[in-house]
Amino acid sequence: MAAPQQIRNLAIIAHVDHGKTTLVDALLTSAGALDRGEGQIERAMDSGDLEKERGITITSKPTSVTYGDVRINLVDTPGHADFGGEVERVLNMVDAVLVVVDAFEGPMPQTRFVTEKAVALGLKILLVVNKIDRPGAEPHKTVDATFDLLAGIGASEEQLDFPVIFCSARERYAMSDPADEKGPMSRILDFIVQYAPPPVVHEGGAALWVSTLDYDPFLGFVAIGRIRSGRISVGDRLAQLRHPPRPAHGETAGPPVVAEVFRVRRLLGFQGLRRFEREYAEAGDLIAIAGMETLQVGDTLTTEEPTTRHVFPRLDVDPPTMTMRFRVNDGPFAGREGKWVTSRKLAERLEREVRSNVALRVSPGETAEEFEVAGRGELHLGVLIETMRREGYELCVSRPKVILRRNENDELEEPYENLIIQCDQDYSGSIIEKLSQRGGELRAMDSAGPGRTRLEMRTPTRSLIGYRSEMLTDTRGTGIMAATFAGYGPYLGPRKTRPRGVLIVMEPGETFAYSLGRLQDRGVLFIGDHVQVYAGQILGEHSRENDLVVNPCIAKKFTNIRSAGADEKIFLTPPLERSLEQALAYIEDDELLEVTPKSLRLRKRDLDHNRRKREAKAAAG
């Protein structure tokens, strides 16, 4: 068992694609923490299917390496602003942060967002300038830009005096100065041991603040966090203290209550990609504990004796900025493809998600079969929906909406984002024009290398819903976009999100090429031939502003009379398929996205054509 002086606890934070997870791979390999065969795994810490497919880190995960006689606990954190709640809750486990910055791009918005949280907690800053082998890289300019960033967010003199090391995580070399000879990645481990402080140990009985949690089908709930004081052994009895639900505005919160008293069944440590059983652990180390019946992020696990208990404060994170409605799938095809289709199962799944996802809020909807789900952004909510559909859930979701509020003058406000876009110079004019139409305001514009432009804008959050794919199209795939929450500002009024209407299926049936061939001149089709559809489902986008009800299920009638066009071939344009995020951004307020394990279907909220007409007339007159 390592003493606190032989322990280092660090979180690795960086912007998306700055090489954070690749750096963790290199450090694990350099320290010999990977078993035979594991060393060939790329982005080993991105263990989830969605993380591997999207190439991003979604959940924070701890790992540990033993380097000499020092145990280095590393926490890999997400680099996307939508998963900032994951970062905020794990920073209380560490004593220092390893800030990874791209030598070409420099500090980006998410780097600032998370580093500001670390600075506020007084954590030691260690800088790793990565990708120094990238063409156009300026390592020393990146160090200066990081110093300016820290000075701008109020870092102390000690935090501004940060140590620096340069590396290429992909090529597996590191050095103290870019002009030096290339050295092994173990230099970064020496760098961590030298500059990262050992954990601070508090006096008193055993206490652990639950920073993240896991669920194992054999062990049940698993609490992960750092032991702040005392010693925890297998078989110990611990009290689980929990703060009551957040009170309404103006009310005071009550004291924490004992959720349960439980016996520690398993105590797990981390090593590389594995967990191993331990008999005991002491203050300063990161561990996982199993044995409790219920668990929430932010709970305190402490001694059973009230006189020696230690209670940690409520875990606060930035509030959500976007909301969606989740409801039971009530379409004609409900239950055909999914395993879990009832409101009870949907409520249980969302309740389970809230326990671990602290940036998520779930409240009852207008009906018993509807739930209001609030999160950090469309990617945050989109990942939740994609996870649920892969687990076998069927549900319908509405278009994301921003959360509005009223200020002290009773004026309506909406959330705003600080947006940074890097693109080729030829496309900057198009981006500025489109974002200005969406309510954006250009704050700064400068060079980002030969032929590249860096734009800094402040835009309403709702104007960025679905804009990422449009930006990639406008920049021919060369644009880089990142946004962070900037606060609330004046509400700019209602804005139409879609310039054209949709084609709506008239009656249930199977689509035929004969009908689709005639309809494709009316707009863009989302559905091909020989597909089962139902009344009220969206077939495609109309070429005009209004919605149009059409029948794609008419088959060609066979007769014994020949005509000039009897044997005419029908050429159908391939249907336009949308991803989950694109579909969420496309639908209007009176539409829903039906999500099943196998399909994504766009539909009207009310499937009855006559009822929609009556409601439209009533609204108009």
Assign 3-state DSSP to the chain and report helix, strand, coil percentages, each to 5: 25, 30, 40
Angle 20-30/186-195 helices, nearest 10 degrees?
Answer: 100
Mean pLDDT within 425-450? 86
Contact 252, 320 (CB under 8 A): no
Q: Report yes or no on 315 lying in a domain.
A: no
- What does the alpha-carbon distance between residue 29 and residue 341 come to, in Å, rounded to a whole number? 44
- Bridge partners (DSSP) listed for residue 482: 420
- What does the alpha-carbon distance between residue 247 and residue 255 come to, in Å, rounded to a whole number? 12
Q: Tens digit of pLDDT for each residue in 99-150?
A: 999 888 888 766 777 788 888 888 999 999 998 988 888 899 999 989 988 8
* pLDDT reading at 483 higher than 80: no
Q: Is the dihedral of CA 147, 81, 490, 251 positive or negative?
A: negative
Q: Which position has the higher pLDDT, 567 or 284?
A: 284
Same-domain pairing of 132 and 17: yes
List the CATH number of the domain containing 327. 3.30.70.870
- Bridge partners (DSSP) listed for residue 395: 595
Per the structure, how many domains does the chain have?
5
Same-domain pairing of 262 and 340: no
Q: Which position has the higher pLDDT, 443 or 480?
A: 443
Same-domain pairing of 147 and 61: yes
- What does the alpha-carbon distance between residue 489 and residue 463 come to, in Å, rounded to a whole number? 14
Q: Which two tokens stand for residue 11?
A: 């979180």
Of 259, 265, 276, 258, the C-alpha closest to 232 is 265
DSSP letter string, 50-77: HHHHHTS--S-EEEEEEETTEEEEEEE-
Mean pLDDT within 552-567? 70
Q: Tens digit of pLDDT for each residue in 523-539?
A: 999 999 999 999 999 99
Give the per-residue pLDDT at 38.
43
DSSP letter string, 84-104: HHHHHHHGGG-SEEEEEEETT
Of 14, 20, 106, the C-alpha closest to 63 is 20
List the CATH number of the domain containing 477. 3.30.70.240
Our CA angle for 532, 538, 543, nearest 5°, is 130
Confidence of residue 36 (pLDDT cuts 50, 70, 90): very low
Q: Which domain holds residue 333?
A: 322-398
Q: Report yes or no on 386 lying in a domain.
A: yes
- Bridge partners (DSSP) listed for residue 374: 323, 361
Same-domain pairing of 409 and 370: no
Question: Which stretches of 358-510 are DSSP H helices?
Answer: 378-390, 428-437, 467-474
Give the per-residue pLDDT at 393.
93
Q: Tens digit of pLDDT for each residue in 461-474?
A: 888 887 887 888 88
Q: Which residue has the tokens 């709702």?
A: 462
Non-local CB neighbours of 125 within 8 Å, separated by 6+ positions = 96, 97, 99, 115, 118, 119, 150, 155, 159, 162
Give the per-residue pLDDT at 45.
47
Give the per-residue pLDDT at 566.
54
- Bridge partners (DSSP) listed for residue 208: 227, 301
Q: Which residue has the tokens 């597909």?
A: 531
* pLDDT reading at 346 higher than 90: yes
Q: Report yes or no on 202 lying in a domain.
A: no
Non-local CB neighbours of 586 within 8 Å, separated by 6+ positions = 466, 498, 578, 602
Same-domain pairing of 390 and 410: no
Same-domain pairing of 191 and 106: yes
Same-domain pairing of 117 and 162: yes
Domain boundary among the residues 372, 398, 424 is at 398
Domain boundary among the residues 380, 398, 416 is at 398
List the CATH number of the domain containing 535. 2.40.50.250
Non-local CB neighbours of 523 within 8 Å, separated by 6+ positions = 500, 503, 540, 541, 542, 543
Write down how long the chain is: 621
Q: Report yes or no on 317 lying in a domain.
A: no
Q: Report yes or no on 611 lying in a domain.
A: yes
Domain boundary among the residues 398, 415, 445 is at 398
Contact 435, 457 (CB under 8 A): yes
Mean pLDDT within 612-621? 82
Non-local CB neighbours of 259 within 8 Å, separated by 6+ positions = 240, 241, 242, 294, 299
Same-domain pairing of 132 and 55: yes
Phi/psi at 387 (5° precision): -65, -45
- Bridge partners (DSSP) listed for residue 393: 340
Same-domain pairing of 162 and 232: no
Confidence of residue 502 (pLDDT cuts 50, 70, 90): very high
Give the per-residue pLDDT at 538.
94
Contact 554, 570 (CB under 8 A): no
Contact 501, 602 (CB under 8 A): no
Coil, strand, or helix at residue 20?
A: helix
DSSP letter string, 194-256: HHSPPPP-BSSS-EEEEEEEEEETTTEEEEEEEEEESEEETT-EEEEEEPPPPPPTTPPPPPP
Angle 109-120/139-152 helices, nearest 10 degrees?
Answer: 50
Mean pLDDT within 218-224? 86
Same-domain pairing of 31 and 107: yes
Give the per-residue pLDDT at 246.
65
Give the per-residue pLDDT at 90.
80
Same-domain pairing of 191 and 65: yes
Q: Report yes or no on 497 lying in a domain.
A: no
- What does the alpha-carbon distance between residue 64 and residue 67 come to, in Å, rounded to a whole number? 10
Confidence of residue 41 (pLDDT cuts 50, 70, 90): very low
Give the per-residue pLDDT at 63.
83
Same-domain pairing of 412 and 474: yes
List the CATH number of the domain containing 290. 2.40.30.10
Q: Report yes or no on 363 lying in a domain.
A: yes
Q: Report yes or no on 495 lying in a domain.
A: no
Separation of CA 514 from chain center: 43
Confidence of residue 220 (pLDDT cuts 50, 70, 90): confident
Q: Which residues of 470-483 are buried (b: 16+ CB within 10 A; e: fewer)?
A: ebeebbeeebbbbb
Give the per-residue pLDDT at 77.
77
Greatest mean pLDDT range, 15-19, 284-288, 355-359: 284-288
List the CATH number of the domain containing 96. 3.40.50.300
